[in-house]
Each structure stands twice: as C-alpha cells, then as structure tokens.
Amino acid sequence: MADLIHVRRTCRLCDSPDLVCSVKLAEVPIVSPNVGTEKDPSGQRLTRIVAPLDNYLCQKCGLNQLLHVVDPSLIYRDYLYRTSVSLGLPEHFRILAEAVIERARLGDGELVCEFGSNDGTLLGAFKARGISVQGIDPARQIAAEASSRGIPTLPEFFTKALAEHIRADRGAARAILANNAMANIDDLTEILAGVKALLAPNGMFVFETQYALDVFEKALLDVIYHEHLSTFSVRPVAEAFSRHGLTVFDAERIATKGGSIRFWCQLAGGPNPVTPRVAELITLEQRTGLYDLAYHQRFGDKVARITAELHTRIATVRAGGGRVGAYGTSVGCAALIHQFRLEDKLDVLFDDTPFKDLLEGPGYSLPVMRSDGVYEVKPQMIIVLAWRYADLIIRKHAEYSKAGGSFVIPLPDLVVR
C-alpha cells in the first residue's frame, strides 16, 4: 500500500512541520465513486483499502489539510465525474467566464488556460466569445472527449515544464483558471511555479475552491475526502502566494458546493489594486476562530452528535422490522456513509444518476438503485446523504412521504421530514 499512499510531514503551503490534528474523522476508501478503476496492478480491490481522513491545522500559516495523499494517477487517470452533470454548474461557469472576460478585458484570440478542465464546460463559455482556450486534465478519456468537441485538452497534470511548453507553443495566458482543482493537488509549489511561467504580465490567475470558513460554519462534512487535500482560507493563501511572487488582489465568497471562495490573483506588481475584501475576510476568519483548535473541536463534537442520533433512529426502525435506505452515491455521499458509520446499517442506496450499481467498501457491498427503486424497496426511512438537494428529492418523492416514509436530512443539522 505504500506505493499508493504517502504521508506528508510538512504543510503543503508554507512547509512548516508544525501540524496539529484538529478534527479526527473516520477512515474512508482511498478511491471514491468518481474513480473508474477499482483494482491496482496487483489486483488489490482499492475500494477495500482505507486511509485516515483526519484534518490537520498548520500552526504557522493556518491551512487546513489532509496528510494522507493518495497517488493522483490512481484517482485521476480514469476519472468518471463530468462537470456538465452537476446541477447548476454549467450556468455558474458561464457567469464566471463573463466576469473574467470583463475584469481581465480579454479580447478575441487571447489565450485562456484551465488546469483540471474536466469536460471543458468552462472553457467552452470562453470559446463561444471568440477567445482561444487550452485545457489541461489528467483524465485521459475526458480529455479526449473535450478535444473532440473543440476544446483542446492536454491529458496531463499541470506542471512548470508543461506551462513552459504551452507558453512556447501558444504564447502567454491572459487568464489561468482552476475550478475545484487546487484543493486536489499536493505539490502546490509546482503549481504556483507553473502559473508564474505561463501567466502574462497583465494576466490573472482565478480559482474557485471550498472555503474553510463555510466548511466549519455550515458543517460541510461531505466535502472532506481524499481527493480534497486542502481546504483553503484567505490568510494562508495570501501569505503563501506573496512568498511565491503572486498577489491575491481579491477574494469573494460564492454559493457553489455549499460555500466556496473565488480567488483573483496576479503576478506581484500586477495592474489590479488589492480590494478591501481580502483584509476583511482575513479579519472575519480570525474573529470567528478558524485558526483556533477549540473551534475545530466543536465541529468534531457536532459530527459525533449527529452520528449518535442517526444510529438511534435507525435502531428504532430496525426494531420495528423496517428497512433503511440512503439517497445519494456521489463521492461526498460515500464519504458520509463512513463518517456517520452507516456501513452496516443501510439496506440500499438510491441515486438519480448513479455511476455504478454497487457501492463497495471495507466489509460491505450496498446495492444502488435509480430513484424509482424507492417504491420497489419501500424503506421506512431514507437518509438524504445528498442533503443539499433535499428539497428537490423530497418534492420528487411526495408519494413516498404520503405513504408514511420519512426523510432524514443529517446536515447541517439533523431534521426529519
């Protein structure tokens, strides 16, 4: 297993060894439902191999991060998730493209690059405006599909060497984008070197990622899994980027994925003035207690309380001979099964668009049915793991509720409907 996982000893932003485990979480499988390969070359079933998911807080810079790092080739070379299937995300990316075009004053033919570009949904919005685009994504099949649709995509990981190659071939990028990708990368020093090598003097590096303050304030437990190695906040990012010759000139909170942040960055000495929002968000983070261990402990205590209440409700259903289902099989939903210790407490999973018909993990195999399976299995209780979509799911299954079934929504606070 040592070749599949390595353990960091220093902060991936500031390289400090002063790391403290701030939230102890359950171990989860090293591959998620997003991953297309379930066995390693030796035949090991990767869904049976688990690794710790504990959150560590850097005492020097304040970055929240995982230290157990799964081989990225294992995760991303055969990735299954496509951006275009996420509810609302294509429209969000269209609006983002308009904002970048306006703010960077992009003109026809100027180059925009995105690493972690997936199926090219975001770059497609730029191309529609006459802007040249270049995608970079290690998922080989997805990259090939994007290229075939007219979004040229290199099936590679982003590095400084690749950035230099792109610049030599296509010129400097007026904008570099990374959406929900920065959190997935272990070697951030290499990434920032690549950004500097590719970015034009008047260019922008814009990236969106989960915001640590939202993760803790809104109990976004389902965004913590091995693909997400870092949970960013403004203070550590602004400090680290400054050391690498980059400036965060703006940071704005956005609603995607329950609570994210969009960083606007440029080369040091770039043309954009630093907005007041950068300092305001750093002050908010510090005032809220984001960098205090006691604040993290309260998050851990909340997870424990929700877990205990779920187990009590499940035991009551079981005692009456009822079945228990769960709704949602995304990577975040699969992680919640482990965090709430539901592996041996569920009969079936439901999903509107499942990747697979079986969700496997250490000691369990749970059948996955499409949403109409609710009326075939007739569970007495359904735990809505895809809790952000709870209203949509409950409206869709009004007949289930009328027949006496109950939906349990575990996050951000447990409610029964």
Residue 203 and residue 147 share a domain: yes
35 falls within a domain: no
The answer to whether 334 and 357 have CB atoms below 8 angstroms apart is no
Instruction: Give the pLDDT confidence score for residue 52 in this predicted structure.
Output: 95
Residue 129 and residue 95 share a domain: yes
Task: Work out the pLDDT band at 187, boundaries 50, 70, 90.
Answer: very high
Task: Work out the pLDDT band at 2, boundaries 50, 70, 90.
Answer: low
Mean pLDDT across the stretch 64-82? 93
Instruction: Give the pLDDT confidence score for residue 89 in this predicted structure.
Output: 84
Residue 260 and residue 121 share a domain: yes
Instruction: Give the pLDDT confidence score for residue 83 in this predicted structure.
Output: 84
Residue 279 and residue 381 share a domain: no
d(CA 103, CA 252): 14
Residue 254 and residue 128 share a domain: yes
Mean pLDDT across the stretch 218-241? 97
Q: Give residue 158's domain range.
A: 83-291
Task: Work out the pLDDT band at 239, boundaries 50, 70, 90.
Answer: very high
CA distances to 40, 295, 339 from 46, in Å: 7, 34, 19
Share of the chain above pLDDT 90, in %: 86
The CATH code of the domain that includes 201 is 3.40.50.150
Instruction: Tell which of 266, 291, 316 closes a domain.
Output: 291
Mean pLDDT across the stretch 399-411? 97
Tens of pLDDT, residue by residue over 3-50, are 889 999 999 999 999 999 999 999 998 888 878 776 666 666 787 888
Q: Does 193 have pLDDT greater than 70?
A: yes
The CATH code of the domain that includes 412 is 3.40.50.720
Share of the chain above pLDDT 70, in %: 98
d(CA 266, CA 200): 9
Residue 262 and residue 344 share a domain: no
d(CA 218, CA 258): 8
Residue 177 and residue 188 share a domain: yes
Residue 392 and residue 373 share a domain: yes
Tens of pLDDT, residue by residue over 246-257, are 999 999 999 998
Residue 352 and residue 213 share a domain: no
Residue 177 and residue 242 share a domain: yes
Task: Work out the pLDDT band at 149, boundaries 50, 70, 90.
Answer: very high
Q: Considering its fold, how many domains does the chain have in total? A: 2
276 falls within a domain: yes
The answer to whether 266 and 175 have CB atoms below 8 angstroms apart is no
Task: Work out the pLDDT band at 84, boundaries 50, 70, 90.
Answer: confident
